[in-house]
């Protein structure tokens, strides 16, 4: 893309050559433009800065605490206020346990 830009080709032509949408090319240039124009190395460094690292695994002692609270019939919403684990992670953990024929899902509150 850098070479085609320096050669003076339009965004539409660059998009056609790279089999991308012209708006994608335009966004890329706008997002990664330096003071002197678009540079591939600068764009790559900027992309690496924006990239989020993979989330860390939650330690087993935290999951033991989640299981403890579930056995006390706490709701996942209550657990998230005491343990730094997202609500989504707790529900996913319960679903995985259920798929393994576990019993954690029996401890969830229900509308009876």
Using pLDDT thresholds of 50, 70 and 90, give the confidence band for residue 104: confident
pTM of whole model > 0.75? no
d(C-alpha 33, C-alpha 99), whole Å: 49
pLDDT digit string, tens, across residues 53-84:
777 788 889 989 999 998 898 889 999 999 88
Q: Which residue ranges make up each domain of the chain?
A: 2-50, 60-107
- What does the buried/exposed string (b/e) look like for 26-41 if buried means 16 or more CB atoms within 10 Å of the residue's CB? eebbeebeeeeebbee
Residues near 66 by beta carbon (within 8 Å), at least 6 away in sequence: 79, 83, 85, 90, 93
pLDDT at 94: 86
């Amino acid at each position: 893309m850098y070479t085609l830009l320096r050669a003076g080709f339009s965004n539409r032509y660059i998009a056609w050559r790279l089999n991308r949408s012209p708006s994608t090319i335009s966004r890329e240039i706008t997002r990664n433009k330096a003071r002197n124009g678009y540079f591939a190395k600068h764009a790559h460094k900027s992309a690496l800065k924006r990239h989020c690292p993979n989330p860390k695994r939650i330690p087993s002692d935290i999951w033991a605490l989640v299981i403890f609270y579930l056995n006390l019939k706490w709701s996942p919403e209550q657990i998230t206020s005491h343990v730094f684990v997202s609500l989504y992670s707790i529900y996913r953990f319960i679903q995985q346990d259920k798929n393994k024929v576990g019993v954690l899902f029996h401890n969830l509150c229900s509308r009876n």
